[in-house]
Amino acid sequence: MKELYDQVSYRCSRLVTKSYSTSFSLGIRFLDKKYHDPIYAIYGFVRAADEIVDSFHDYPKAKLLQEFKSHTYQALQEGISTNPLINSFQLVVNKYQIEHELIDTFLHSMDMDLHRLKYDQNKYQEYIKGSAEVVGLMCLRVFVEGDSNRYHALKEPAMKLGSAFQKINFLRDLKSDYQSLGRSYFPEVNLEQFDVQCKDEIEKDIAADFAAGYQGIQNLPKGARFGVYVAYVYYKSLLEKICKLPPETILKQRIRIPNPQKYLLFLRSYLKHQFNLI
């Protein structure tokens, strides 16, 4: 019966992913089917932790996060959890030998979100490493299926791609992060004086991460390449849209790609994939 429970756990992770991220869910659909459950499990786990620190405002966040962390480490040791999101995650961690150091680093960034920190360059890099770069490495462990040489060859590009995605999220969510959560991740940036020069510097930094990350996509295993490329295309299009907008617009609204445009992007990506143009 444990097998049935594990299947239900994966379904819970899939439900969380589809409920919280249409774009990420579509990207997963374009991966080889063997990657679906493991990547859903990783996303479900990180989404649950992120919701604790970002959304549970009327509840004891620090206590809930500490319990979540304790249950995670216990599950990794015992090979089971009564929390289905943690259970599916521990299955993936143990199967694909994901380093516990990556999990530690991710959970440390969640701890950082419990406090209203003023981010300098060091803390900014520290947060991005935990909240995005190591999540990219967890996914990479799944994609390479135990091939350590390939993992280490693609490690740096995977981190850069995760970094680019996270920085775009920061730009897209400037309004809600600052007004609702009191956060401003970009170092030495005063949002009361957020201007064209400041925005341009951030965009150039993200573009450099994208360039480095794209090289890694081209060398991913065939079954993973198209799905990751779809996510890359979506986020790059989001960056291009943000680049065209004035700073005051970014501060007033959350920038989105409408669903019809998303589907058109995915169709174009598919055609490029079919003709080996990625």
Cβ neighbors of 246 (< 8 A, separation 6 or more) are 196
Q: Give the separation between CA 167 and CA 238, rounded to whole angstroms.
A: 11
Whether pLDDT at 275 is above 60? no
Listed ranges 20-24, 63-67, 193-197, 243-247; the one with the highest mean pLDDT: 63-67
pLDDT at 278: 65
In 138-179, DSSP assigns E strands to none
Among the listed residues 186, 181, 231, the one whose alpha carbon sits nearest the alpha carbon of residue 51: 181
pLDDT at 163: 97
From 18-27, 36-45, 91-100, the region with the lowest mean pLDDT? 18-27
Angular region, 213: left φ>0, alpha ψ -120 to 50, beta rest: alpha
Kindly state the average pLDDT of the residues 158-178.
Answer: 90
* The amino acid at 270: Y
Q: Which residue has the higher pLDDT, 116 or 226?
A: 226
Q: Give the separation between CA 92 and CA 100, rounded to whole angstroms.
A: 12
C-beta separation of 172 from 255 below 8 A:
yes
Whether pLDDT at 95 is above 70? yes
Q: How confident is the model at residue 64 (pLDDT cuts 50, 70, 90)?
A: very high
Domain CATH for 160: 1.10.600.10
pLDDT at 160: 97
Distances (CA, A) of 263 to 7, 103, 251, 277: 30, 33, 27, 19
Q: How confident is the model at residue 277 (pLDDT cuts 50, 70, 90)?
A: low
Kindly state the average pLDDT of the residues 225-252.
Answer: 92
pLDDT at 154: 98
Cβ neighbors of 100 (< 8 A, separation 6 or more) are 76, 93
Chain-centre distance of CA 30, in angstroms?
17
Coil, helix or strand at residue 96: helix
Kindly state the average pLDDT of the residues 38-53.
Answer: 98
Among the listed residues 165, 244, 247, 245, the one whose alpha carbon sits nearest the alpha carbon of residue 199: 247
C-beta separation of 136 from 216 below 8 A:
no
Q: Which residue has the higher pLDDT, 22 or 199?
A: 199
Distances (CA, A) of 9 to 22, 98, 111, 217, 265: 20, 19, 25, 29, 31
pLDDT at 19: 96
Kindly state the average pLDDT of the residues 15-20.
Answer: 96
What percent of the chain is predicted at pLDDT more than 70?
97
Whether pLDDT at 138 is above 70? yes
The pTM of this model reads 0.92
pLDDT at 274: 63
Total number of domains in the chain: 1
Q: How confident is the model at residue 191 (pLDDT cuts 50, 70, 90)?
A: confident
Cβ neighbors of 27 (< 8 A, separation 6 or more) are 227, 228, 230, 231, 234
pLDDT at 276: 66
Kindly state the average pLDDT of the residues 80-88.
Answer: 98
Give me the domain span that covers residue 246: 2-274
Cβ neighbors of 111 (< 8 A, separation 6 or more) are 65
Q: Give the separation between CA 189 and CA 197, rounded to whole angstroms.
A: 11
Chain-centre distance of CA 248, in angstroms?
26
